[in-house]
Amino acid sequence: MEEVAVPLEAPCGVHPTPGGSVKLSAIGEFGLIDRIRKGGLAVAPGVLVGIGDDAAILEPSPGNLLVATTDLLIEGVHFRTEFASPYAIGRKAMAVNVSDIAAMGGIPRHALIALAIPQEVPVEFIEDFYRGLREEGARDQIAIVGGDTSSSPSGLALFLALLGEVERDRYLTRGGAKAGDNIWVTGRLGASAAWLAALEAGFRVAGEGSGVITGPGIERLAAEEREALVEAIQAHLFPTPRVKEGRALTMAGVVSAMIDISDGLASDLGHILTESGVSAKVYRERLPLHPATAVVGRLLGQDPWVYAIQGGEDYELLFTSPNGPWTVEGTLAAEGLTLPILIGEVVEGKEGGFLIDSFGGSKPLTGGYQHFQIGCQMPEAGC
Amino acid sequence: MEEVAVPLEAPCGVHPTPGGSVKLSAIGEFGLIDRIRKGGLAVAPGVLVGIGDDAAILEPSPGNLLVATTDLLIEGVHFRTEFASPYAIGRKAMAVNVSDIAAMGGIPRHALIALAIPQEVPVEFIEDFYRGLREEGARDQIAIVGGDTSSSPSGLALFLALLGEVERDRYLTRGGAKAGDNIWVTGRLGASAAWLAALEAGFRVAGEGSGVITGPGIERLAAEEREALVEAIQAHLFPTPRVKEGRALTMAGVVSAMIDISDGLASDLGHILTESGVSAKVYRERLPLHPATAVVGRLLGQDPWVYAIQGGEDYELLFTSPNGPWTVEGTLAAEGLTLPILIGEVVEGKEGGFLIDSFGGSKPLTGGYQHFQIGCQMPEAGC
């Protein structure tokens, strides 16, 4: 089995627990909080009281509305420590919350972090996790302003609440789509789910600095296929929330409804349709499949469309617009951002979304990740 | 073993899983979210977008600062389903966060709730938990505006983030105590920890509507001792956060530093002293021990002072004031609130707190609940 070197942004798949690891029991809860405080931002805009009091005191921007979201990351459901380093888990924990703020058209500002930590987890794990949180937040100048820590009798549980702001009358919900609107997505789909499927099938990326990919059949891949796989690993571990795109679209006033793709295109478009009381046609040939979906599909003998339609964790923005393509594309082009992709249209009705194939055939656009549900389409995602 | 009837505010110690219990797997994540949404407030002040979008959109009061806190409740650490009903767990989850906002002098307004739920937990459990959250929040008109749900491979994990507001230049931190200030507490101490110790020793409260207490020696208690025990159960299950007291003290400008007692008097006073760079003398004979501490201490052969000094979960406000007793007491009396109790004074130094006994003897005021720490004073609290 050949190994393929990957120029990863950060080492993953390895636990950074060097020789002199410090146990939580040696420093206690308050020692841990001290360490977390020391790693924090010296100057954080709008923070009057940060970590270390009963609550944070924050200064909202005059006239703006508050945007508030929260996401859970549970070990064994949302992440596995054998699949991602604590640094990568921290990066992603922040990114998925930032993505929710972006989906409302908001600016992320302040984060609260709560952690339930098993006794045996070394302090370095927590510090690397916080480093990931901070580095991911730094792009948007997000300050960690508070939180809570607890021991955990079983696995790790991570909770983020992220606060942001948005101009009055500018925020976007899932509820504004109208028949005749176009449906857009900000980037390619399925890469994250494809790499997760590969991980589940025994593929791994390992090594410090520049990692290596191992897995059955990896040696038969062409150079560009390996490139695609490397991009998929990045998409899975370090998704880039579309804050700039969300802001540009919001301020231009060209969007009628918006959501970020976390549960999968089918499921998340379904939320827009339900909240807006409309249906949709999505054209299969217009769907921007990430090339890694085909690579992994072939390696595993799976349907690559499942990754793109039902996979989830793309963290692209999915939005509807009454404006023409030139206006929508121009809005992002003017900011030097990647052009969005037109994938379909909103239509009258309550039947939900339909996927239209090249021959005009139509079938319901369903599936996607849903917790607690039996019989979901992606058991490898942990249903 | 005799049973003692307890006029409980809500039935506890019993799992409300009647015959027709609904499994989470039958309704899925989105079905659960629908049920939670339907139970929400119809009209919530300041909520432009609530549960059911990527993030909530909230309207801050003009000119006010934002107060933000988070607390996690982990099964087996913070609660046990055999010790408290889901309704009581919900009530307490809200109360402990409200208490943190109260400790800053703030007004609680909006809550985000995240839950990691094992597959086998019935839907009724979650609905009862939310009912507890809502009923506890109703006193302060708190709206649940968002959250997240996830399956959990092990125990229940509950996370709350609570947002509130406070007038500019009115918020109180742990850091303002000065030598010469008096130290006050808003109520009696140790009841919650005493009942927890009793639970750990096999005492139980059970029954629908009016519960009954069982446990070794319970039949030898006098009527007023049983009354005290009933109060302790209430204090443990349904603590009342001191929002009104916090607001009155804040607006009167009579407080230099404030905290709520969650980890225990010794530990929480320690936080004020550390953040303020001062020491303190606390007079043992002034400490307002709840009578249940003596009852449980005698039943279990334990030192009742440990419950009051190191026990925690009292959710009383502990504060320092440069003003005289008449002013501080008058501030709360004017609002029809219970008078606070003067327990000591802030002094120069960095040595921390000292407990002064009736003979003038002095010993360090230490201990209290700290996660991860080995060798804590209350192993029955789950260290």
For chain A, give percent helix, strand, coil, nearest 5: 35, 25, 40
Shortest Cα distance from B359 to chain A (angstroms)? 33
The better pLDDT of the pair B207, B194 is held by: B194
Q: What is the interface size between A and B, counted as CB pairs within 8 Å?
A: 252
Name every chain A residue with its beta carbon within 8 A of the beta carbon of B24.
Answer: 372
Q: Provide the mean pLDDT of chain B.
A: 86
Nearest CB neighbour to A58, from listed B57, B65, B372: B65
Mean pLDDT over B102-111 rounds to 97
Residues with Cβ within 8 Å of A36's Cβ and at least 6 positions away in sequence, in order, are A51, A126, A127, A130, A144, A147
Beta carbons of B49 and A150 less than 8 Å apart: no
**Which residue is closest to B119 within chain A, CA to CA?**
A372
Shortest Cα distance from B94 to chain A (angstroms)? 14
The predicted-structure confidence for B277-293, as pLDDT tens digits, reads as follows 999 999 999 999 999 99
> A71, A160 in Cβ contact below 8 A?
yes
The predicted-structure confidence for B29-67, as pLDDT tens digits, reads as follows 777 777 776 665 545 788 999 888 889 999 999 999 999
Beta carbons of B159 and A114 less than 8 Å apart: yes
Cα separation values, A365 from A178, A320, A353, A359, Å: 18, 17, 5, 16
Beta carbons of B28 and A155 less than 8 Å apart: no
Low-confidence ranges of chain A (pLDDT < 70): 1-21, 37-43, 207-211, 367-383
> A311, A192 in Cβ contact below 8 A?
yes
pTM here is 0.86
Nearest CB neighbour to B72, from listed A54, A55, A114: A114
Shortest Cα distance from B206 to chain A (angstroms)? 26
**Which residue is closest to B166 within chain A, CA to CA?**
A57
Nearest to A246, CA basis, from A325, A144, A337 = A337
pLDDT at B9: 41
Beta carbons of B74 and A260 less than 8 Å apart: no
Percent of chain B with pLDDT strictly greater than 70: 86
> A111, A94 in Cβ contact below 8 A?
yes
Beta carbons of B104 and A374 less than 8 Å apart: no
Residue B155 C-alpha from the chain's centroid: 22
**Which residue is closest to B260 within chain A, CA to CA?**
A54
Shortest Cα distance from A104 to chain B (angstroms)? 7
Q: What is the rounded distance in angstroms from the CA atom of residue B310 to the CA atom of residue B266? A: 6
Q: What is the rounded distance in angstroms from the CA atom of residue B155 to the CA atom of residue B119? A: 10
Beta carbons of A68 and B163 less than 8 Å apart: yes
Beta carbons of A150 and B104 less than 8 Å apart: no
Q: What is the rounded distance in angstroms from the CA atom of residue A23 to the CA atom of residue A122? A: 5
Placement of tokens 């992709």 in the chain:
A341
Nearest CB neighbour to B58, from listed A65, A150, A374: A65
> B89, B15 in Cβ contact below 8 A?
no
Mean pLDDT over B232-255 rounds to 96
> B183, B230 in Cβ contact below 8 A?
no
Name every chain A residue with its beta carbon within 8 A of the beta carbon of B373.
Answer: 25, 28-29
Cα Rg of chain B, angstroms: 21
DSSP label of A261: -
B4-6, strands of its sheet edge to edge: B4-6, B211-214, B204-206
Nearest CB neighbour to A72, from listed B25, B114, B373: B114
For CA atoms B104, B110, B116, B121, give the dihedral sign. Answer: positive
CB neighbourhood size of A69 (10 A): 29
Beta carbons of B112 and A68 less than 8 Å apart: yes
Beta carbons of B114 and A275 less than 8 Å apart: no
CB neighbourhood size of A200 (10 A): 16
Beta carbons of B71 and A100 less than 8 Å apart: no
Beta carbons of A69 and B149 less than 8 Å apart: no
Beta carbons of B54 and A69 less than 8 Å apart: yes
Interface test with A, best of B69, B243, B372 (most A CBs within 10 A): B372
Nearest CB neighbour to A145, from listed B68, B74, B259: B68
pLDDT at A382: 37
Residue A253 C-alpha from the chain's centroid: 24
Name every chain A residue with its beta carbon within 8 A of the beta carbon of B112.
Answer: 68-70, 161
**Which residue is closest to A76 within chain B, CA to CA?**
B153
Cα separation values, A124 from A75, A167, B67, Å: 17, 39, 30
Beta carbons of A159 and B114 less than 8 Å apart: yes
* H-assigned helices in A209-288: 223-237, 243-252, 265-276
Name every chain A residue with its beta carbon within 8 A of the beta carbon of B75.
Answer: 153
pLDDT at A65: 96
pLDDT at B371: 57
Name every chain A residue with its beta carbon within 8 A of the beta carbon of B260.
Answer: 54
Beta carbons of B49 and A166 less than 8 Å apart: no
Q: Which two tokens stand for residue B20?
A: 């027709």
Q: What is the rounded distance in angstroms from the CA atom of residue B256 to the CA atom of residue B158? A: 33
Residues with Cβ within 8 Å of B285's Cβ and at least 6 positions away in sequence, in order, are B357, B358
Beta carbons of B116 and A72 less than 8 Å apart: yes
Question: Is 50 exceeded by the pLDDT of residue B145?
Answer: yes
Nearest CB neighbour to A67, from listed B29, B55, B171: B55
Shortest Cα distance from A60 to chain B (angstroms)? 7
Beta carbons of A148 and B25 less than 8 Å apart: no
Q: What is the rounded distance in angstroms from the CA atom of residue B375 to the CA atom of residue B383? A: 8
DSSP label of A289: B
Query: With left for phi above 0 and alpha for psi between -120 and 50, is residue B336 left, alpha or beta?
Result: left
Name every chain A residue with its beta carbon within 8 A of the beta carbon of B149.
Answer: 72, 371-372
Nearest CB neighbour to B25, from listed A24, A56, A374: A374
Mean pLDDT over B315-336 rounds to 97
Interface test with B, best of A372, A377, A378, A383 (most B CBs within 10 A): A372
DSSP label of A84: S
pLDDT at A16: 37
Shortest Cα distance from A144 to chain B (angstroms)? 11
Beta carbons of B72 and A110 less than 8 Å apart: no
Name every chain A residue with its beta carbon within 8 A of the beta carbon of B167.
Answer: none
**Which residue is closest to B69 within chain A, CA to CA?**
A55
Give the pairing type, strands B257-260 and A182-185.
Answer: unpaired
Q: What is the rounded distance in angstroms from the CA atom of residue B277 to the CA atom of residue A268? A: 52
> B260, B99 in Cβ contact below 8 A?
yes
Placement of tokens 């790790």 in the chain:
A156
Query: With left for phi above 0 and alpha for psi between -120 and 50, is residue B264 left, alpha or beta?
Result: left
For CA atoms A367, A373, A375, A380, give the dihedral sign. Answer: positive
Name every chain B residue with its beta carbon within 8 A of the beta carbon of A152.
Answer: 74, 77, 157
Percent of chain B with pLDDT strictly greater than 90: 64
Q: What is the rounded distance in angstroms from the CA atom of residue B233 to the CA atom of residue B91? A: 14
Beta carbons of B110 and A174 less than 8 Å apart: no
Beta carbons of B68 and A112 less than 8 Å apart: yes
> B148, A262 in Cβ contact below 8 A?
no
Shortest Cα distance from A136 to chain B (angstroms)? 19
Residue A224: strand, helix, or coil? helix
The predicted-structure confidence for A245-292, as pLDDT tens digits, reads as follows 999 999 999 999 999 999 999 999 999 999 999 999 999 999 999 999
Q: Rounded to the nearest 5°, which phi and psi values hold at A314? A: -80, -30
Name every chain B residue with its beta carbon within 8 A of the beta carbon of A22.
Answer: none
Q: Three-state secondary structure along chain B? A: CCCEEECCCCCCCCCCCCCCCCEHHHHHHHHHHHHHHHCCCCCCCCEEECCCCCCEEECCCCCCEEEEEEEEEEECCCECCCCCCHHHHHHHHHHHHHHHHHHCCCEEEEEEEEEEEECCCEHHHHHHHHHHHHHHHHCCCCEEEEEEEEEECCCCEEEEEEEEEECCCCCCCCCCCCCCCEEEECCCECHHHHHHHHHHCCCEEECCCCEEEECCCHHHCCHHHHHHHHHHHHHHHCCCCCHHHHHHHHHHCCCCEEEECCCCHHHHHHHHHHHHCCEEEEEHHHCCECHHHHHHHHHHCCCHHHHHHHCCCCCCEEEEECCCHHHHHHHHHCCCCCCCEEEEEEECCCCCEEEECCCCCEEECCCCCCCCCCCCCCHHHCC
Q: What is the rounded distance in angstroms from the CA atom of residue B102 to the CA atom of residue B259? A: 9
Question: Is 50 exceeded by the pLDDT of residue B382?
Answer: no
